[in-house]
Amino acid sequence: MTNSTTESAKTTGEGAVGESQSSLILKRFVRNKTSMVSLVLLIAIFAFSISAIGLGPIPGWWPLDYRNPLPLVDSGRPTLSVIPEWLGGAGITLGEHPFGQTRIGIDYFAATMRGVQNSFVVIVLLAGVATVLGTVVGAIAGYYRGWVDAILMRITDVFIVIPTIVVGAVVGRMTGGLGVQFLAICLGLVAWMGIARLVRAEFLSLREREFVEAARVAGASDARIIFKHILPNAMGVVIVAASLIAAAAILLETALSYLGYGIRAPESSLGLLVSDNQSAFATRPWLFWFPAFFIVTPALLINFIGDGLRDAFDPRQKRFSVRRTKELPENVEQRA
């Protein structure tokens, strides 16, 4: 039995026998080049925004602020110069305003970097609150079933039939002026329904397993069974669902800010930048290029990371391999 398991492990490339599940999941994720590159790029974007204009006590290397207007330079056009000095240019330099300026003279690079920071705050807080709340609701509903499940799922159904953008607009209208952190937390309180349904379905399946029955016989409390025995086995679903919420969070915040229900001036948001400069689309399109890039790129990267996490947590997600397919008949004959 041990030799057969060892041979199977070598054939599938899943690692040595006795290796923990967490290490196998990590190896599968690391082997996914697309997800790893996406993770590195996502961290790099966030780190660059912090290093550029600073965050809290962390100072930035960019001298200009996103709140104070300055005299327009070259009608607010981007001053990024990449012409080598030996060709007669100014050398590779960021210039005075690499992303240009708004119509009132705000440095667009500083405003965009601040918008990136606020987007990441929304991603972390909204996804965190929604994941925790949805996991708790889904876990309790799936474990207890009966009238507890019925009440919690009917509440979930009431929230889920209301369009997210409508609920977000109401919440954003009331909390948008209180700061990005408060807005993100409040949006997280109305974005938990999808993950709650997924976790409930997973708990309905896992609660019937033998290890749960063994824990009951051993006298474990319901809370211990839920959070110590069942939940760790459902973490794959939770993490993948959280990545989907994180990808949707940046788009939700951008949409609300664009409509005027999200982050408000004097704070900066990528959606707010697009909204404030929409009248200048034909004359100064660069005011849309940079916010659009930092809206679309993180959302795509998070989706790629989520795909990698899904493949890592689900061992049935195997990539097709011509070499492995050709070797399969030979392995079957040898085992026979």
CATH number at residue 302: 1.10.3720.10
For 217-269, the pLDDT digits (tens) are: 888 888 889 888 888 888 888 988 898 899 889 888 888 888 888 888 788 88
Does any domain span residue 82? no
Q: Is 77 exposed, middle or buried (0-12, 13-18, 19+ CB in 10 A)?
A: middle
What is the Cα–Cα distance from 20 to 235, expressed in whole angstroms?
15
Dist CA 220 CA 181 (whole Å)? 38
Number of domains observed in the structure of the chain: 1
Q: What pLDDT was estimated at residue 81?
A: 54
What is the reported pLDDT for 129? 94
**The predicted structure's pLDDT at residue 176:** 67
- Amino acid occupying residue 306: G
pLDDT for 156 beyond 80: yes
In terms of phi and psi (left: phi > 0; alpha: psi -120 to 50; beta: otherwise), the region of 317 is: beta
Q: For residue range 69-94, what is the model confidence (pLDDT) as tens digits? A: 888 777 778 876 544 444 344 444 55
- Between 238 and 313, name the one with better pLDDT: 238
pLDDT, mean of residues 103-115: 88
In a domain, 303, yes or no: yes
Cβ neighbours, 10 Å, residue 84: 11
Residue 7 is predicted with a pLDDT of 42
Amino acid at 124: V
pLDDT at 166: 83
Q: How far apart, in whole angstroms, are the C-alpha atoms of residue 274 and residue 85?
A: 34
Q: Residue range 180-193: average pLDDT?
A: 88
Greater model confidence, 189 or 317: 189
Average pLDDT over residues 266-286: 82
> Three-state DSSP class for 61?
coil
Domain of 237? 21-52+107-319
Q: Which residues pair with 107 in a beta bridge?
A: 101
The verdict on residue 308 lying in a domain is: yes
pLDDT at 36: 94
- 8 pLDDT more than 70: no
Phi, psi at residue 288, to the nearest 5°?
-105, -30
Q: Closest by alpha carbon to 39, among 323, 301, 239, 234? A: 301
pLDDT tops 90 at residue 116: yes
